[in-house]
Structure 1
């Protein structure tokens, strides 16, 4: 399979057969506007969906393709679509695009929105047709000002061409699309917090059930999908399920391609569209070109700050959800970060936990109080003022803030890198424990689950 990189090194040719997300990109990095997009077969999939496919057939095609959410959770998209009510009397439904990309080390959705805004619009148009939604919102991270400018221009171009608005493509189907910029909160990446923010409320996650498919925006059925997820839809409709599945490497349980990348002190940091199942070593060595001269790879995260740290010997893991799970963490967004041998892990984790503590919505006690507690302990250890038992306390927090212990997934994601860092680099944490400082009484520390 021919693969490519884009960004600083544009060395390998992209094609529609192998790169459904990126083959239309311009070499100069400028946005692809409507005329050029249509000249590159843009909106052909939408025309096919409107003219030749029943709405339920679109849903079934996406389900059969094996497309999964690209925001980090990896839930099957077709299954999610199938949760929307079948009752034809419910004539108000919403489609939300989660473009609140605030995961540290992740910028894949930004590239798609800035350079291929019409690909996202076409994906939303087909999805709206399948889900019978009459209005859509792109909930965009407020700092993405260029993306907002390009998306708004693309929406106006699509309206003028009769691809949005009333009676789209003569089908009798109406769909309005709006770009909504958020106020800048990491928690808005959680779909129900996003919904609350869109409604003008505090961005707290909602209790589920009911799920958004039943009770979403303003109490109406709502489907929320990530930018990259929606951008996969046109190619699936245009070229079919079998072709889409064939893109993934042998052994991968995830279908299609994925935008993957590497940041940190690598020679060629960037973003590439690669098949699911490629190894992390290929991503690191063949695309990111390994570490810069004078640096060694100490650890890496496979997909954003909320994923666990791995070691260089884990680079042979395949980049798909199950492949990364085999080495003990999650694939997340698929944009990896290299940690070089000059970095102190305690300082790195203190910085990460400060971010996660600040971005907590404060709704549930474990997250609201547990994350700041971890920051205080890490600051003490970083300054050489840690007490005996502090590492055990941190591990206790990892247990108490883990999956199923908090109202949403924010805290579990926040403590996953902390637990893995202690697992692999405990000696760096132990170095910050002052030998003359007494231990905190046991009852002042959380009991380690399972101890």
Structure 2
């Protein structure tokens, strides 16, 4: 158990003034030292900004945790081509809900980070690829961009530095696959969103076949505070290999779900203490550390440090830090079936392992849930998942396989109960997890 008071475990930076009236405006942002980081960055040479961000240890907040400064460093210089910055705001991983509230409550943090990044990689044009469904966020982001142009933080000769940056906000058309960076680039160019074969990597031939950096919203929005407050301040939080603060999205069967901004390395036990624990009268059964595409963990892992190394050592991935918590009323087979249906639906169909494998996983998972499967089908779904994992064009296939592997590892007995008992032993009426209640369960069993 944590010895420190709950409030001392949090580190509100991006979310520091989300509860302010009109937190999304330029006026509020500047009242909280907004665009001071940009002034400091513009006084530095581009290569020095890259080195500073690299030294801070900032890692990508979109899933893989790749060092942000290193990604910027990959952009070739003196090549005579335009350079582009693309911000991936196509947040659609089940359970992930950090970038959208960040853009809704504090869009100028992203805009300031974009201008700093453009200065660093010598780019004159940046794009924000946003999910088209989130219309209120789209409107608010457009309004913030207009404010930034009017105040001289975007456009020509920003703050008299000679830097020109144009920012385009692009609304996507609702495809999970466009969260993959090369599929996002294809969609941004007007084509169907499908992953590209790599190499060449986006740093060499990305948007319009030009050198491109693709970063997550939270990654870019974290840069202004690092420049303004210092890399030592940033490194004073988190762990040596995973420094800094980040947003944890806590959802599911918890008393107070929401966004909790804390240093990397905090544990789920500590976050649950702050959020009032699981819903009254229930206990934690399983959870995801980074959305449904990361291997699930159990109550044995409550004290695993939620940083890249700690979660990796536990057999999962930190991913997007989407902590979905499920209590003992939840059927693991049912939850994994729904996730598998999602991945089958969202597969772009470009590669055979993912296109065919996710389809057959859904058929078998539905049979297992309905009690119509044989024991041999458990080995079959593991074999199909193995034929998808690491063999598809992009990480969607890996994401589809993760819940299968991990649920069989920890809850194989529950799978067997579905088969021997000829159906699901759980009463769906007792679970509040699915909005459509027991109806969907009965339809699947029909």
User: Contact (CA 8 Å) 2:177, 2:193: kept in 1 or not?
Assistant: yes
1:264 aligns with 2:255: no
1:349 lines up with 2:336 in the alignment: yes
For 2:134 and 2:140, the matched residues in 1 are separated by: 10
Q: Could you give the per-residue CA deviations for residues 41-77 of structure 1, whole angstroms, max 9, x where no partner exists?
A: 1001111111x20111000001111111000111111
Displacement of 1:248: 1.4
Q: Kindly state the Cα deviation for residue 435 of structure 1 after the two structures are TM-superposed.
A: 8.8
Two-structure CA RMSD over aligned residues (Å) = 2.0
More helix by percentage: 2
> What residue number does 1:21 align with?
14
Q: Cα deviations across residues 186-238 of structure 1 (Å, max 9, x unaligned)?
A: 11111000000000111110011111111111111111000000011001111
Q: Distance in 2 between matches of 1:287 and 1:112?
A: 20
Q: TM-score, normalised by structure 1?
A: 0.90
Q: After TM superposition, give the deviation of residue 432 of structure 1 in Å.
A: 2.6
* 1:217 counterpart residue number: 207
Once the two structures are superposed, the pairs formed by residues 46-445 of structure 1 within 5 Å of their partners are 46-50=38-42, 52-87=43-78, 89-90=80-81, 92-249=82-239, 253-284=241-272, 286-403=273-390, 405-433=391-419
Cα 1:21–1:377, aligned 2, differ >3 Å: closer, same or farther?
A: same
Deviation at 1:105, TM superposition (A): 0.6
Q: Deviations over 1:383-414 (max 9, x none)?
A: 110023100001102211112x1111111111
Return the alpha-carbon distance in structure 2 between the equivalents of residues 89 and 32 of structure 1: 37
| In 2: Cα distance, 1:298 partner to 1:88 partner | 54
- 2:152, 2:79 → 1: CA distance? 25
Q: Structure 1 residues 398, 88: closer, same or farther in 2, change over 3 A?
A: closer
Aligned partners of 1:384, 1:120: CA distance in 2, in Å? Answer: 49
Q: Distance in 2 between matches of 1:117 and 1:164?
A: 14
Q: Is the 8 A contact 2:337 2:362 kept in 1?
A: yes
Distance across 1 between alignment mates of 2:53 and 2:4 = 24
Mapped partners of 1:382, 1:38: distance in 2: 54
Is the 2:250–2:260 contact (alpha carbons within 8 Å) kept by the matching residues of 1? no
- Alpha-carbon offset, residue 434 of structure 1: 5.7
Contact persistence 1:247–1:275 (CA under 8 A): yes
Task: Choose 77-86 or 394-403, whichever is displaced more.
Answer: 394-403
Superposition TM-score, scaled by structure 2 size: 0.91
Matched positions, count: 421
Distance in 1, matches of 2:348 and 2:220, equals 27
Unaligned 5+ runs, structure 1:
5-10, 437-451
Q: CA–CA distance in 2 between the matches of 1:58 and 1:20?
A: 20
